[in-house]
Amino acid sequence: MSAIEDRPIGFGRLKRKEDARFIRGQGNYLDDIRLPGMVHMAILRSPFAHARINSIDTSAALALPGVAAVITAKDLETLGLAWMPTISYDTQAVLAGDKVRFQGQEVAAVIATDEYIARDALQLIDVDYEPLDAVVNARKALDADAPLIRDDKEGQIDNLASPTWEAGDEDATDKAFAEADTVVARDIIYPRCHPAPLETCGMIADFNPETGQLDIYNGNQAPHAHRTVYAHVAGLAEHMIRIRCGDIGGGFGNKVPVYPGYVCAIAGSIVAGVPVKWIEDRSENLMSTGFARDYIMKSEICAKDGKITGLRVDVIADHGAFDSTAQPTKFPAGFFHIVCGSYDLQASHVKVKAVYTNKAPGGVAYRCSFRITEAVYLVERMVDALALEMKVDPIDLRMRSFIKEDQFPYETTTGWTYDSGDYHKTMRVAMDIAGYEDLRREQAEKRARGELMGIGVSFFTEGVGAGPRKHMDILGLSMNDGADLRIHPSGKAVVSLSAQTQGQGHETTFAQIVAEELGIPPEDVEVRHGDTDKSPYGLGTYGSRSTPVSGAAVAVVSRKVRDKARAIAATILETRLEDLAWEKGRWYVKGDREQGVSIFDITKRAYSGEALPEGFEGGLDAQVIYDPPNLTYPYGAYIAVVDVDPETAHVKVRRFIAVDDCGVRINPMIVEGQIHGGLAEGIGIALMEVITFDAEGNCLNGSFMDYLIPTALEVPDFELGETVTPCPHHPLGAKGVGESPNVGSPPAIVNAVIDALYESHGVDHLDMPMTPARVWAAMQGNAEPP
Ligand code: PCD
């Protein structure tokens, strides 16, 4: 077997190309980069959640040897940089001038010769704060006497961050409820949690005063979009800004927003004329960068004749002090209205109100396509609540209510068009892997012995791959992706993408797409991304959009090259285009397989001095911009088995079964890795992760000592299965998958805990995280731990 035959050409379980450097510790992360003459920046942060700033005295800090500059809001005002736009059309203070609005807010930036001096100098800055009442509870922020947080905004008289947003049909929903035979209501909170990537956020800004060129090194998920924002903010032309994102130690949505620290680093470099490096520490990351979730939801669900018919949801979205929620502009609550789930409903209605509180801004899509996680959690908890009330098996109720295979494409009651699916089949595969009937028997036996075993189910549908330009933009930028493919004379190829990997394995999978389409071995295809000077424009990686959008772009650009190759093949073989057929890696004459020419020979010819088809200029390359016609709708059936210790209330996830359908899998091994990672995160969210505040607005989870993330001890061996329902509009039939496991797993685990506790302890709802203290309190009949 030749070396090439050993490896799959195209789709398959190819080992990740990038891992060769990662497992040898040779990744090139932001903190590995040192530029000549580089200075360091540190940020002074507010100790108060809400306080007026009377004065800031920087003289002692400036006097410290090694300190080059101290920047405050006043300095930024003179540069027109005191406030910056957020990705939700709000404004956010780069450095606080009038007052601070959350604990950890940026107040001043020190630039010094090394990072230790910069940090020492922070302590010498004297800020005169006048503390104000803080409000951290979004419901209380709506009270008439609540302190006004955004008095900087003209005409703002309350803490509402935007007008109420609605989807669905209110009257039709009222009718469905009036006709229903069972109605259940719940108040459900998806608490504030944090993406907490391995590498925190940071930037090196390098402004060259001679040329006016701004070079930026940064780990962000959308380099082109960031460049456009900086161009506007700093008044520079885009081509004078180059952003390079090297290896990124995880993004998870946390690296989508533009943070004040970035703008300070840029301002610092423009003022100082030397490269400025800023990297936040873990506490800064947890306390001030994009949090996730924080949705307070009220919901009612109803059924008629044993089938779910209607859903009503009223949400308060807590946005913190500035609305920097990540979502396409036309969707103020992201894709939350996908809350009708995987069910064929008669009607539904959703209302979302956004509120300012004295908490860090964010609302990022932590492994979630813009609030789909909150939506899936809500509907899957509500379906279980309904099953409890109806005294039916939660899988039975789902099976009776699913959208049926022959109903796709299916238009939901809130306006989505789901592309394809066979939900019943996927659910059955999960039941088989779990041995569902046996599990229920085991549970009955254990219950009789007083043991607390729970089986929890969730079934999710996501919409990923934002998005069609007719529906979606961010800050006026349409959500399309470019791809550029060049085949060199040697037959090696470079594909340049606008999407940006943070660890997902794009260097491998995008090479596999070219390989699948052209027959060039993936090791000969170099994937380029993360450098705005070397890659086409596009909106980046989040919302599992890389495969649906950039993946499609790469397939289409490869096909363009294949078409060009066909014309060249016809010239070489002296035949007509229509007489040629394609098999992976070569064009051959129909009916005579022997007479063919490989992509390598075609490439050679493309660069040679020999004759080319008429109109050909030589070389072999192509460019595209891909505008997806719709989102892709991956889905999955998850089953969690938990044991709750009756003595300690500790929840152990004993088994976790995940059957995902993301259409055609480019690299099944990478897909499974994505699912493992996302499930681990989902277990963390369900069991332990939460950002909480005391009444004064002090953040109580500002380090990994008190923001707990899961380890191998909490995570079982996952049992995975798959079904494959191709996406009808994606050129490869693929759907996104990166986020699915994080979306689907929390409701399965919470449903399992409720299933364990309902019969014996009457617990019919409990908000996450399922910490021992919280579960114990619920077992004693209390809503909250003492
Ligand atoms: N795939 C395949 N097939 C299919 C699909 C998919 O193969 N069908 C694969 C691809 O290629 C890649 C992956 O898998 O590699 C993924 O993909 P997707 O789904 O498309 O996605 P993306 O776009 O790429 O990514 C994104 C995601 C997200 S969103 C998140 S969060 C996370 C995930 O991803 N993040 C991360 N994962 C991960 N991983 C890692 N390692 N790191 C990170 O950071 Mo957001 O919105 O941002 O929140």
**Closest ligand 1 atom to 736 CA:** 19
Coil, helix or strand at residue 587 = strand
Give residue 124's pLDDT: 98
Instruction: Spell out a b/e string for 613-639, using b for 16 or more CB atoms within 10 Å of the CB, else e.
Output: eeeeeeebbbebbbbbebbbbbbbbbb
736 C-beta closer than 6 A to ligand 1: yes
Sheet holding 592-598, edge to edge: 580-583, 586-589, 592-598
Give residue 8's pLDDT: 63
For the record, the structure tokens of 506 come out as: 């794009």
665 C-beta closer than 6 A to ligand 1: yes
511 C-beta closer than 6 A to ligand 1: no
Give the strand pairing for 241-244 and 307-318. Answer: unpaired
Pocket test for ligand 1, best of 325, 504, 661 (most atoms within 8 A of CB): 504
335 C-beta closer than 6 A to ligand 1: no
Q: Is 280 exposed, middle or buried (0-12, 13-18, 19+ CB in 10 A)?
A: buried
**Closest ligand 1 atom to 505 CA:** 15
ipTM of the complex: 0.99
Torsions phi, psi for 92 (to 5 deg): -135, 135
**Closest ligand 1 atom to 735 CA:** 8
Nearest to 457 by CA among 436, 438, 471, 477: 436
Question: Ligand 1 center to residue 214 CA distance, Å?
Answer: 30
Question: Ligand 1 center to residue 501 CA distance, Å?
Answer: 8
Q: So which residues are the catalytic ones?
A: 221, 367-368, 739
328 C-beta closer than 6 A to ligand 1: no
- The series of mean pLDDT values per 10 residues for the chain, 786 residues long, is 54 96 95 97 98 98 98 94 92 97 98 97 98 98 98 97 96 98 98 97 97 96 95 92 97 96 96 96 97 98 98 98 94 96 98 98 93 98 98 98 98 98 98 98 97 98 96 93 97 96 97 98 96 96 97 98 98 97 97 96 96 93 98 98 98 98 98 98 98 97 96 95 98 98 98 98 97 97 84
For the record, the structure tokens of 547 come out as: 């495969």
Question: Ligand 1 center to residue 330 CA distance, Å?
Answer: 24
543 C-beta closer than 6 A to ligand 1: yes
CB 359, CB 102: distance < 8 Å: yes
Give residue 4's pLDDT: 41
**Closest ligand 1 atom to 221 CA:** 47
**Which sign, positive or negative, has the C-alpha torsion 140, 146, 152, 154?**
positive
670 C-beta closer than 6 A to ligand 1: yes
Pocket test for ligand 1, best of 479, 547, 664 (most atoms within 8 A of CB): 547
Distances (CA, A) of 31 to 20, 202, 282, 574: 20, 8, 14, 57
Distance, in Å, from the CA atom of 434 to the CA atom of 453, rounded to the nearest integer, reads 14
**Closest ligand 1 atom to 326 CA:** 46
Find the DSSP H helices in 273-349: 282-288
Single-letter amino acid code for the residue at 747: P
Give residue 9's pLDDT: 85
677 C-beta closer than 6 A to ligand 1: yes
Atom 21, ligand 1: which residue's CA is nearest? 544
Give residue 2's pLDDT: 39
547 C-beta closer than 6 A to ligand 1: yes
Pocket test for ligand 1, best of 325, 544, 723, 727 (most atoms within 8 A of CB): 544
661 C-beta closer than 6 A to ligand 1: no
pTM for this entry: 0.98
Atom 26, ligand 1: which residue's CA is nearest? 544
503 C-beta closer than 6 A to ligand 1: yes
Distance, in Å, from the CA atom of 736 to the CA atom of 33, rounded to the nearest integer, reads 32
Atom 2, ligand 1: which residue's CA is nearest? 666
Single-letter amino acid code for the residue at 26: Q
**Closest ligand 1 atom to 250 CA:** 44
